Structure 1
């Protein structure tokens, strides 16, 4: 069957190309489709994109809009997978029946079973006679791993040597084939747009027209900025001092992600230096509602492509939030030194809040004292943190945005984006306050002990 007609040079939304190709496959896909015949959102997220399209290996199909050649390629991939997708739908129906029979109610069946059903279809084709026993065994296996959303399940999944080697090959190919732009103009445009939006964020009555933020997202400024940043070693923020990546990597440029096999909260590297395991370890450890997450196989497949995407994120609105956060971060000036960019209304709001902190006032006195920290160095280290506030801010912001990306929770408007940006600033400030209080408490205890008279 020929691909859908498309005028020469016209770019189509990738979602539309997928929808058309899916409907062209005909009947047999009902358990993976909505009432109107379109693929379910989870079908696209868990099966079509990571297992059929595989944008990690085909970065030309990773964009939200595709040219004629890319559209035809995507259409062909889905149609070629028609028989396997139909078998996947039949396996899913069988696994749901086994789930009901076994009385299992935890977790969302689509999250838990979609990718396993695709694997079963690849191995067996359509369910053969007697497949009910295999379906029940698969359902019980998944249930035994706490719905497949634990760090132990992640370890077991990546411990398979063949699977780990395949993922490493996919990471290497995706990293090598990243689309990279010259970038200087793209970075400057993105930063200028961020400054304009930050002025609106902090102004009580100065919110921009509703389409301003949407236009920045639609223009892809976040993705373009991320691609420019891959090759950048110089300042892109309009000021000297902060590195281009603002602490998101400890390297001059982010390294190619590795698969990894373990992680420790105390020794996690910078966000863009983390392995696949470390990225997902944070998600699984910090998630209060694991039932919202895909099972581990789905998490791993999606993270393979995400880790090689611009700024380590898939969603464009979240990439734009990184640019907004970076522009805010380089203008953070808790000590009132006058350094940094801006100020925008957002900078004035956040910096004013920080400068009223008693812990910041103490740190400011230490920066101008000839003997900054007579108490032994602890408070001086905390003061140094305030001289480079962008490091802690960007690290915390990226983790929060990454968690939203994993859960498919975009920032749909400027108000929601500002809520995240400002919330991270408050979180960093409160964390610093707690550390200062703890240091003062410990130093006070040590001083009191030293002043006690020694017994004869």
Structure 2
């Protein structure tokens, strides 16, 4: 029965703690595995859901849960060796004066590979680590945040890029496609119709994306959803600027970001596989054109997925207001979200506010406008694909992207609620 199913995240936490000491470099202050430990080591390298699809779900039945815990327990010696290797890598990194990149993103999986090959670090581990660090430095080359800072720190280059941005922004072309018809086609796709390729061929993504430039009152099907879907904090997207810095803690809405912020986010998100990216000058040059394109995206298929995502976001109803869901995709996503414990608590708070208030009240309020978190996260996914020239080729692939973002937003909200509850319990 579903009542006996357990969240995969909770199982990972339990199995990790049962491994005992020796994992501190891969753990948080409370002893749980770091988010990157789960994302970069436990899931892809220990659980390996690509080979064990039955363990890929967010909820696992008792048999699956037992297998999940067994795999982590079996990997215990290798995980402890991975933790030791990570300590060696951090020392070698400091000794070599390396400051670029997030060490967890860059080294976690390499440390696991070395643990598989050598076990605990041998006497010459420091030299092995330095050799790997030199290889990584060569592979990422001019694909670092520091390289971006230096490239955009040149005043002459800043002026040149700003002039190009102004020129491209002034020359934007609005496609002739009918916006209302494009959104109606999106609704059909969300309800199961095979009209995705028709949307791409008709440049529906370009038509809707460019309509945002003039605030065309897009008919998303929900009066509470703004035309820009939360992709900008302004009535219409502003002309992009060059910029000279970025902060992950205070990142603007996607269409309000500077060139620096747009490239910065991609370098941060791709730090474990930067060798796949062009070097910084080319990244910046491509971003100039992309930032002035409809939806801030170059690929037409990606713009179409953004339109589909807008249609889905407009009908998200995690609080179960009773409004009829317009398509099959809405019904599937809303059912999943409305069963979330965090959504159930938030729904109770809308009628009977929690006396503790504070962060829980803020999180409950977020579910009144779920479209903002959804469309922003979808845009980031699509932007990453755009940088790599990775189109969404068919309706099924588009559905996977849309569903993956929905799951990600739900899990993020769940984690925020749990964190707020832990904070309240700690302060009690």
1:147 and 2:112 correspond? no
CA contact (8 A) 2:139 2:275 kept: no
Gaps of 5+ in 2: 1-136
For 1:222, the equivalent position in structure 2 comes to: 205
Other structure's SS at 1:387 match:
coil
TM-score normalised per structure 1: 0.62
How much has 1:234 moved relative to structure 2? Answer: 2.7
- State how 1:180-259 maps to structure 2 within 5 Å: 180=174, 186-200=178-192, 208-209=193-194, 212-232=195-215, 234-259=217-242
CA contact (8 A) 2:212 2:237 kept: no
Distance in 1, Cα, partners of 2:222 & 2:154: 47
Distance in 2, Cα, partners of 1:342 & 1:190: 19
1:301 and 2:285 correspond? yes
How much has 1:180 moved relative to structure 2? Answer: 2.7
Distance in 2, Cα, partners of 1:405 & 1:386: 29
Output one character per residue of 1:331-390: Cα deviation in whole Å (capped at 9) or x when no partner: 000101134x74200000000000111111111111011xx1201322111111111000
Distance in 2, Cα, partners of 1:395 & 1:328: 13
Match of 2:336 among 353, 357, 369: 353
Other structure's SS at 2:141 match:
helix
CA contact (8 A) 2:186 2:308 kept: yes
CA contact (8 A) 1:254 1:272 kept: yes
Match of 1:282 among 261, 265, 282: 265
For 1:424, the equivalent position in structure 2 comes to: 405
Distance in 1, Cα, partners of 2:325 & 2:276: 39
For 2:309, the equivalent position in structure 1 comes to: 325
Distance in 1, Cα, partners of 2:203 & 2:426: 54
Distance in 2, Cα, partners of 1:268 & 1:237: 26
How much has 1:441 moved relative to structure 2? Answer: 1.1
1:334 and 2:328 correspond? no
- Rg: which structure is higher? 1
1:438 and 2:422 correspond? no
CA contact (8 A) 1:235 1:242 kept: no
For 1:169, the equivalent position in structure 2 comes to: 163
Output one character per residue of 1:17-55: Cα deviation in whole Å (capped at 9) or x when no partner: xxxxxxxxxxxxxxxxxxxxxxxxxxxxxxxxxxxxxxx
Match of 1:271 among 239, 248, 254: 254
TM-score normalised per structure 2: 0.66
Runs of 4+ that moved beyond 4 A: none
How much has 1:214 moved relative to structure 2? Answer: 1.3
Is the alpha carbon distance of 1:373 and 1:162 closer, same or farther for their aligned partners in structure 2, counting shifts above 3 Å?
same
Output one character per residue of 1:115-162: Cα deviation in whole Å (capped at 9) or x when no partner: xxxxxxxxxxxxxxxxxxxxxxxxxxxx87942100111111111111
CA contact (8 A) 1:186 1:228 kept: no
Output the aligned Cα RMSD: 1.9
Distance in 2, Cα, partners of 1:155 & 1:365: 47
How much has 1:263 moved relative to structure 2? Answer: 0.2
Aligned residues: 293
CA contact (8 A) 1:226 1:311 kept: yes
For 1:407, the equivalent position in structure 2 comes to: 388
CA contact (8 A) 1:233 1:253 kept: no
Question: Relative to structure 2, which stretch is displaced further, 254-263 or 224-233?
Answer: 224-233
1:158 and 2:141 correspond? no
CA contact (8 A) 2:206 2:300 kept: yes
